[in-house]
Structure 1
Amino acid sequence: MIEAEGLTKRYGERLAVDSLTFTIRPGQVTGFLGPNGAGKSTTMRMILGLDTPSAGVVTIDGKPFTAMDNPMREVGALLDAKAIHGGRSAYQHLWCLAQLGGIPKRRVDEVLELVGLTGVARKRSKGFSLGMGQRLGIASALLGDPKVLMFDEPVNGLDPEGILWIRNLMKSLAAQGRTVFVSSHLMSEMENTADHLLVIGRGRLIADCPVHEFIRKNSELAVRVRTAEPTRLAELVTAEGGRVTTDGDGTLLVTGMGTDRIGDLAFDHQVRLHELAALRASLEEAFMEMTRDSVEFQAAVPAGAVAPEVAR
């Protein structure tokens, strides 16, 4: 378990992390989300004792990371997959870490097999692709068989098979009762992987809840309706307080009214429906809505470009 109380970090006049208080519990994958510059990396570095908090405390299973007798056996972390000596092979890199942590040599072979690098274990890591470097970083995090695991952008550079692999790995680690904390900008992947979310913006905590609750609270239910009488149905829905947009081919997008009410309304007025479907908002849509005022750098839509729909 990771617990933070009033965690704060200042760099001169800049407040990077502002009084964060949270608990990351074992047995689930906790996703860590926020726009660029929100303070995610700084927070993770403070958890690992790489940066000293300006105020507040953060502990892992009740004690600071720097107070652990054998940190590799208690916490595994991937913050920068490129932090590897390019002249060493994958095996040499892991064996050096194992010796530092008092970890048996057989464990090196175990994690190399687990991450799929057995075939290139003796090759110098400077020739590794980005995805292979990520796998080696994950192997390093798993080396001590720790109870707490932290990953910063773990799927960066991985192909679809690798992404599915790390997703299943994180879920299996959490199912074993471990604490799994993962930061990522890939919303679709977080939606498929995380059970719980911490969301920060401009250094402040703005959400701490299960994924499904975050989506529900920060997006509006929409209903797609196809009918031969779109104009008539749109008038009926609007009169009942619903909001309607159309894509021009007879398909209506209704907000502010559920499928049951729309179906009853169409039946009562003898409007034939060809499709009536509730559209589930994505984590990406909910995240964009929640963090709209917390984005540090906002780009304008280029002239002539079509802005994407926010909700469908």
Structure 2
Amino acid sequence: MIEAVGLTKRYGERIAVDKLSFTVRPGQVTGFLGPNGAGKSTTMRMILGLDAPTSGRVTVNGKAFAALDNPMREVGALLDAKAIHGGRSAYHHLLCLAQSNNLPRRRVDEVLDIVGLSGVARKRSKGFSLGMGQRLGIATALLGDPRILMFDEPVNGLDPEGILWIRNLMKSLAAEGRTVLVSSHLMSEMEHTADHLLVIGRGRMIADCTVREFIDRNSALAVRVRTPDSALLAEVVTRAGGKVTAEPDGALLVTELPLQRVGDLAFERGVRLHELSPLQASLEQAFMELTRDSVEYHAAVPSTSQEIR
């Protein structure tokens, strides 16, 4: 378990992390989300003792990371997959870590097999693709067979098969009762992987809830309706307080009225329905809605009419 209480980090006048309090519990995948510059990486570095908090505290299984007797057996982390000597092979990189942390030699072969790098174990890592480097970083995190795992953007560079693999790996680790914290900008993947979410913006906690609760709280439920009597239904729904938008395919998108109410209105007026279905926003849409005021960098959309001179 990871616990933070009032965790704060300042760099001069800038507050990178502002009084964060949260708990990452075992048995579930916790997604750690936020726009660029929100403080996610700084928070993860403080959990691992790489940065000291200005105030507040964060503990791993009740202890500061620096106080752990065998840190690699308790916490495994992937923060930067490039943090490896390019002249070393995957095998010798892991062997060096195993020997310096009093881990059995056989564990090196085990994790190489888990991440699918056994066939290239003796090749120098400088020749690895981005995806292979990610797999080696994940193998490093798994080396001590820890009960707590932290991954920062673990799917970077992975192909679709690799993304599915890491998704299933994280779920299986959580199912074993381990604590899994994953930071990612890939919302569609988090929607399929995470059970719980911690969302921060400008260093502050703005959501601590399940994925379903997050989507429900930060998006409006819409109802999609198809009917040959579109004009009549639109009039009836509008009079009842709903808002109607025509879709390109001829369907109607109704908001501010529940699905059951739309169905009842259609029945009462004898409107024949070909489709009546709920539309729930995706995690990405809900995330964008909640964090739009916390985005630090806003890019302008270039005009196609502008000429370069």
* TM-score where L is the length of structure 2: 0.97
Q: Name structure 1 gaps, 5 residues minimum.
A: 306-312
Other-structure match for 2:113: 113
C-alpha deviation, 1:270, in angstroms: 1.4
User: How do residues 152-167 of structure 1 correspond to structure 2 at under 5 angstroms?
Assistant: 152-167=152-167
Rounded Cα–Cα distance in structure 2 between residues aligned with 1:81 and 1:177: 25
Other-structure match for 1:293: 293
| CA contact 1:228–1:250 (8 Å) conserved in 2 | no
Other-structure match for 2:132: 132
Other-structure match for 1:246: 246
User: SS in structure 1 opposite 2:287?
Assistant: helix
User: SS in structure 1 opposite 2:274?
Assistant: strand
Opposite residue 146 of structure 1, the aligned amino acid is: P
User: Are residue 47 (structure 1) and residue 86 (structure 2) matched?
Assistant: no
Rounded Cα–Cα distance in structure 2 between residues aligned with 1:213 and 1:303: 38
Rounded Cα–Cα distance in structure 2 between residues aligned with 1:189 and 1:228: 38
Distance 1:247 1:304, change over 3 A: farther
Other-structure match for 1:310: none
Opposite residue 229 of structure 1, the aligned amino acid is: D
Opposite residue 246 of structure 1, the aligned amino acid is: A
Distance 1:107 1:253, change over 3 A: same
Distance 1:176 1:229, change over 3 A: same
User: SS in structure 1 opposite 2:278?
Assistant: strand
Q: Show CA shifts across 1:93-134 (max 9, x none).
A: 000000111000000000000000000000000000000000
Other-structure match for 1:192: 192
Rounded Cα–Cα distance in structure 2 between residues aligned with 1:19 and 1:261: 43
Aligned identity (percent) is: 78
Q: Aligned pair count?
A: 305
Task: Report the RMSD for the aligned CA atoms in angstroms.
Answer: 1.1
Other-structure match for 1:216: 216
* TM-score where L is the length of structure 1: 0.96
Rounded Cα–Cα distance in structure 2 between residues aligned with 1:193 and 1:257: 31
Q: Show CA shifts across 1:26-71 (max 9, x none).
A: 1100000000000000000000000010001000000000111110
Other-structure match for 1:270: 270
Rounded Cα–Cα distance in structure 1 between residues aligned with 2:304 and 2:124: 48
User: How do residues 1-312 of structure 1 correspond to structure 2 at under 5 angstroms?
Assistant: 1-303=1-303
Distance 1:144 1:249, change over 3 A: closer
Q: Show CA shifts across 1:234-271 (max 9, x none).
A: 11100000111112442111111122111111111111
| CA contact 1:198–1:208 (8 Å) conserved in 2 | yes
Rounded Cα–Cα distance in structure 2 between residues aligned with 1:94 and 1:253: 55
C-alpha deviation, 1:25, in angstroms: 0.5
C-alpha deviation, 1:304, in angstroms: 6.5
Q: Show CA shifts across 1:134-187 (max 9, x none).
A: 000000000000010000000010001100110011011111111000000000
Q: Name structure 2 gaps, 5 residues minimum.
A: none
